[in-house]
Amino acid sequence: IIANIVKTFKYIYGLRFEVQGLENFEVEGPCVIVSNHQSILDMMGLMEILPDDCVQIGKKELLYTGPVGLIMYLGGVIFINRKSTSNAKTVMSGVAQTMLDENVKVWVYPEGTRNGNGDLLPFKKGAFHLAVQAQANLFTVLYSSFTSFYNPAKKLFISGKIRVEVLQPIETKGLTAEDVADLTERCYCTMRETFFRLSGTAREPLASRHNGLLPDP
């Protein structure tokens, strides 16, 4: 119900979604889906392609936003306290079991926050731990940059097109906690390249923006 309501908003805002690779989602069973998160407009992009039986990880603060919080709660959103890694990890490890028991998919924004600067922030590792703990497929979804039609700093919000791509699933069978850092890094590189390709922007050198996650080239 929520998805169908939110999907009509694109007509009001004059946005078009051009989706590729949706057939990749046609795999039965639990999985983790990771995607980039630029703004609240992503809720439209999320609902545009949301598979059945899929819940999202959200920050706890969203639970206290009145009716929207209630709708998210009823929709099954898993709330985590981002300020407490141990609390978030405890919640997320319960999620791995639930995913398997109830055959659900989990959508995570691995940047951990909204980011509209035309690049991806370094990824948090929770989503990748989750996929490995559940030994579930990992899907990556990219939305092209909104900067050409939506820029709050410049008070710009015009109609525009968002290109979306669902990439081939990555298997995590046989991977262990030790492989999570490598898996995160691989996904990050692939997703960043796909993001730039979809956005039609040039690839910037990694080391200038992201210290820490990746070694200098």
The tokens for 146 are 């909104």
Q: Which of 174, 42, 52 is nearest to 108 (CA)?
A: 42
Based on the shown chain and the rule CB under 6 A, indicate whether residue 63 belongs to the binding site for ligand UBL. no
Nearer to ligand UBL by Cβ, of 135 and 157: the residue is: 157
Based on the shown chain and the rule CB under 6 A, indicate whether residue 62 belongs to the binding site for ligand UBL. yes
Nearer to ligand 3VV by Cβ, of 4 and 208: the residue is: 4
In the chain, the DSSP E strands lie at 15-20, 31-35, 54-59, 78-80, 105-108, 137-143, 150-151, 156-157, 160-166
Number of CB atoms found within 10 A of residue 127's CB = 27
Q: What is the dihedral of CA 150, 151, 154, 156, to 10 degrees?
A: 10
**3-state SS class at 95:** helix
Nearest distance in Å: CB 202, ligand UBL = 26
Nearest distance in Å: CB 175, ligand UBL = 27
1's CB contacts (< 8 A; 6+ apart) are none
The tokens for 136 are 């579930």
The letter for the amino acid at 142 is L
Residue 89 interacts, among ligand UBL, ligand 3VV, none and using kind-specific CB cut-offs from 5 to 8 Å, with ligand 3VV
Q: What is the dihedral of CA 64, 65, 71, 73, to 10 degrees?
A: -20
Residue 85 interacts, among ligand 3VV, ligand UBL, none and using kind-specific CB cut-offs from 5 to 8 Å, with ligand 3VV
Of positions 1, 23, 28, 40, contacts ligand UBL by CB under 6 A: 40
Nearest distance in Å: CB 9, ligand UBL = 5
Q: Which of residues 6-35 bind ligand UBL (CB under 6 A)?
A: 6, 9
Q: Which of 5, 130, 30, 31 is nearest to 80 (CA)?
A: 130
Nearer to ligand 3VV by Cβ, of 36 and 56: the residue is: 56
**Binding site residues, ligand 3VV, CB under 6 A:** 2, 5-6, 37, 43, 56-59, 62, 68, 71-72, 75, 77, 80, 82, 85, 88-89, 92-93, 108-109, 112-113, 124-127, 129, 180-181
Based on the shown chain and the rule CB under 6 A, indicate whether residue 60 belongs to the binding site for ligand UBL. no
Residue 5 interacts, among ligand 3VV, ligand UBL, none and using kind-specific CB cut-offs from 5 to 8 Å, with ligand 3VV
The residues that touch ligand UBL, with contacts defined as CB under 6 A, are 6, 9, 37, 40-41, 43-44, 59, 62, 68, 113-114
